[in-house]
Structure 1
């Protein structure tokens, strides 16, 4: 019997369906399903794991954070414990009856390691299998791809698995050692611990450094002169050709000089071609998903589900060039039946030769992300359909012609002052017809010629300020992490999500909390190696060297341990200063704003008896001012005051979405919202999301 081990249960089911030369018999080992079928005249059993079945951990004697010196973790033995006991038992049981085993997990470092972990369980039950192991590598869960992979079985790559295991071990050693040290130094235990990670921490430093740039930025005032011109039709906007005026008096003189009419002095038109985008690799996909409102961590999970259901190809890839083996016409054939894009796919199919775009990166492990199966809106959840459509439309865009635009620039003279208006329109849609994400609206300008006169309908002076550098959105941060060698295509979304979960950041674009800022500063000051992307990038190159067989896993892990020893020595000598910096940040997140009675700070406090939190004046007992606070979710001070009552506003993280409120339950705005809600409910209408938020606040503060 051949035992086929895949990474997930639905992958195991699909492999059985694709390969079976007859019926598939369903079975279960306790609660773990497996599938028995015949392939090439031989009995096969396909079983799915739940990702990693073994997890690295320290022995039990190291579990007490307060009693065990974190330094001991640097050289402590790492055990591999069974994380999915039911799955492990099923693998062992089925392995006893097998004479060959085929690993069919995802083809990357992580997947290779998961497969090798499963092999260790199989060998425990049946050592004879050690000489009868093969590997099936495929990039899409389709009948053609799976059949091809099983007809061309290869060997398991121990080097690739070693690279994955080295990362696991190094992340555990660094993360556990430094997380415990920081939490002990600051005396934050339990769910309030402060996490540190080999990739997480330099990513946090990037976010914090951008915030420091913004705080150090000194805005400079400038003025612009804007005019609304009219030529029979609707008005269009023109601005003074000088752009920004640094002196208000100069700008005001230019405004006053404008006459009631403006004469066209120049008409300039320029055509431009926008080439179609390159195929999706993981980073480009996650960035595009973030731009349509799906966070990288959520997009990665959805893409994995779509892959295992056979709708898209493997979503973790660096490749941006379709392989010659990919049958583009076959893909267009089933896309011609997909809602919303069917007609477009049909036109491409009938257009003759297909010439896909090519990106800069070409690898041989996986193709770029492309659709592998037809899906309907009814078959998928709303978020899955959104991501499926993104992948489908990107694929169609890569087979489309360029888009063409026409940029028109009109220059005017009015009262001796030069004005300019510009507008861009799409003249040939090309790929923009199907890949509409981020497409700007056409900016139409009237047809004018030199010497034409138009009316100055209105003119005004706009006072503005220069703006600080923008915060990173999640998509932009993913790209920056890739550029700096932070993490991998598989781990970056989870790293960003972990920063959210630990309360270091919030919002998108990303805003660091004061705790996040303080942890980043303390690490940068006293543990620069963990705060620097250079060290992490060097380790990533070492992982590549392991996977290529140039260095051993053990040597890379030991080198990492030696570096951590030096970092730890430096931290130990700076414990008090480190803790002071972090506590300043924690206190910053607990300071909500000024007390309305005495002017001192309102801070987050907890009732000694029931541990419920509330806002209280730091001047207690002289000032006994208090306000109720939501009992669920993280509270982020916004540094702003409510327009209606003047009390501090907070953001509450938790539930379906973050929400903003002031801390005053008697705020006139809240009273108005209560009345509105009562009237709405009396009329039988569904309350709005804002009304539901207010109701949630009232419940959570009681």
Structure 2
């Protein structure tokens, strides 16, 4: 008999169906042992030796696994294909060896990136040994988490009654939120004005912004008060303009790569309003399998990854689906190949993608969260293999007869929508007026250089500079990833802990630090600065 160990009972049930009666599949229900939160669990002076304990539930499950292992000819460790999964396999093997139940039993490690029959059977045909480099990476992180948390948390309990915990990643994430709040409080708003005009040059009117006044190019704060703005407005109304330049620049916009854990959490936050935790719970269910026509099938690949590459067969399937649904012109000449840019990316896994792109979102009946997340993943994967969007950026410059006043109109037109027919990546905060990325959209009318430009109307508008926005879940996850803080698999739990500890609260889906959170950060910065550094 072959004994297979996986993490979750849902996964165990599905895999048992694929493998048949010669296999018994048991679930470990996640991690089976942990470091007890007491002194001496990690001993730095004894070569960082670690002392593990299983809780009552974990001990019971390990006993069940040990009993089954006694009857087995082969034990197959098939936990998740990441560092945590490798660690669970190592823990199970350590316990089975301690219980002396293996004797002549053959032990193998297999990993699959998707829970489909073909992926599971292919993995079973290519077993390997436990990867001790991955296990050691897990042990180092776990020891660090324990030493930082166990060193700092008791100090906080003593010195700041009411504070609950500190942690290697948690405390740095909290500091980011607190630092942003301090930045907002220190921010001094500055007044500035802009002048815009409705102009006609023989055809339809268009909107132009004043860029030159009194012979000088205008910078953001040159029109700093109402008087100067109204003087500029009067100059525009009084001047007679000619079109001095018309410039058309072709441009291309390429699609974003398929999802990593981090980008999935960011986009689900922007587009669906999901918290990181809600995203990961839905993704876990899609990965572990959904009943379709009486058969349980995993709908997406493994959801904890920082890889952006996709399997060649997935890319081929994407190209076929694109040609069939959108037409040949939407398929680029050669497949798009993506490479990871994340600061501390280390997983060799594929990006998050549907296990079969032929299962389009409309053909599946999924509960609300699962359906919406699956559609997001499907569209992102399809878009990642589509042709670039072709755009034309146009600018029209107008100059007054005396050369002292200048206006500019900008616009962009999509000539071919390409991947935009399916998907466009969201942004956390819209660009402010005049900032890079602030395109005045829309098509501009055809005008000829040298033609007269008639000002129909001119307006002066007051604006104030704004402080940087508070972090949303999406922008905080993005910032943590940029700084190399934590791992994709930990973002959801870290953000949840900050809320549960009441260090932060959410206001309009933005993080606001509570007094308790600010106090903890100030204390750690003062006395334990190296634990909360992120620069």
**Unmatched tracts of structure 1, length 5 or more:** 21-36, 38-42, 63-74, 535-702
Any conservation in 1 of the 2:96–2:102 contact (CA below 8 Å)?
Answer: no
What is the correspondence of 1:52-91 to structure 2 with a 5 Å cutoff? 52-58=31-37, 78-82=51-55, 84-85=57-58, 87-91=61-65
Number of the residue aligned with 1:146: 120
Distance 1:371 1:247 in 2: 53
**CA gap 1:276/1:130 in 2 versus in 1, 3 angstroms:** farther
**CA gap 1:500/1:137 in 2 versus in 1, 3 angstroms:** same
1:186 to 137, 142, 160: 160
What is the correspondence of 1:83-122 to structure 2 with a 5 Å cutoff? 84-85=57-58, 87-122=61-96
**CA gap 1:162/1:108 in 2 versus in 1, 3 angstroms:** same
Number of the residue aligned with 2:258: 279
Number of the residue aligned with 2:430: none
Instruction: Please give the TM-score of this superposition, normalised by the length of structure 1.
Output: 0.63
Number of the residue aligned with 1:424: 412
Distance 2:324 2:285 in 1: 23
What is the correspondence of 1:45-444 to structure 2 with a 5 Å cutoff? 45-58=24-37, 78-82=51-55, 84-85=57-58, 87-123=61-97, 127-129=101-103, 132-188=106-162, 193-229=163-199, 236-241=206-211, 242=218, 244=220, 245-248=222-225, 249-259=227-237, 263-292=242-271, 293-309=273-289, 310-324=298-312, 326-330=313-317, 343-344=325-326, 347=327, 354-361=334-341, 365-373=348-356, 374=359, 376=361, 379-413=365-399, 417-438=405-426, 442-444=441-443
SS of structure 2 residue aligned to 1:490: helix
SS of structure 1 residue aligned to 2:35: strand
Shift of 1:407: 0.9
What is the correspondence of 1:489-638 to structure 2 with a 5 Å cutoff? 489-507=488-506, 508-533=509-534
**CA gap 1:351/1:215 in 2 versus in 1, 3 angstroms:** closer
Shift of 1:450: 2.7
Any conservation in 2 of the 1:58–1:76 contact (CA below 8 Å)?
Answer: no
SS of structure 2 residue aligned to 1:264: strand
Any conservation in 1 of the 2:306–2:347 contact (CA below 8 Å)?
Answer: no
Count the aligned residue pairs: 489
**CA gap 1:388/1:443 in 2 versus in 1, 3 angstroms:** same
Moved more, 460-469 or 43-52: 460-469
SS of structure 2 residue aligned to 1:175: helix
Shift of 1:441: 9.5
Distance 1:226 1:243 in 2: 15
Distance 2:527 2:375 in 1: 47
Shift of 1:517: 2.1
Deviations 1:136-162 (A, max 9, x none): 111111222211110011112244234
Any conservation in 2 of the 1:276–1:357 contact (CA below 8 Å)?
Answer: no
Dislocated runs of 4+, deviation >6 Å: 231-234
SS of structure 1 residue aligned to 2:23: strand
Distance 2:349 2:256 in 1: 19
Any conservation in 2 of the 1:226–1:240 contact (CA below 8 Å)?
Answer: yes
Shift of 1:363: 6.6
Bigger CA radius of gyration? 1
Any conservation in 2 of the 1:222–1:247 contact (CA below 8 Å)?
Answer: yes
Distance 2:301 2:379 in 1: 14
Distance 1:84 1:301 in 2: 22
SS of structure 2 residue aligned to 1:267: strand
Shift of 1:531: 1.3
Question: Over the residues paired in the alignment, what is the CA RMSD in angstroms?
Answer: 3.2
The one of the two structures with greater contact order (alpha-carbon pairs below 8 A, sep at least 6) is 2
**Unmatched tracts of structure 2, length 5 or more:** 41-47, 212-217, 290-297, 428-438
Deviations 1:380-406 (A, max 9, x none): 222222221221112112211111111
Distance 1:49 1:233 in 2: 72
Shift of 1:423: 0.9
Any conservation in 2 of the 1:58–1:77 contact (CA below 8 Å)?
Answer: no
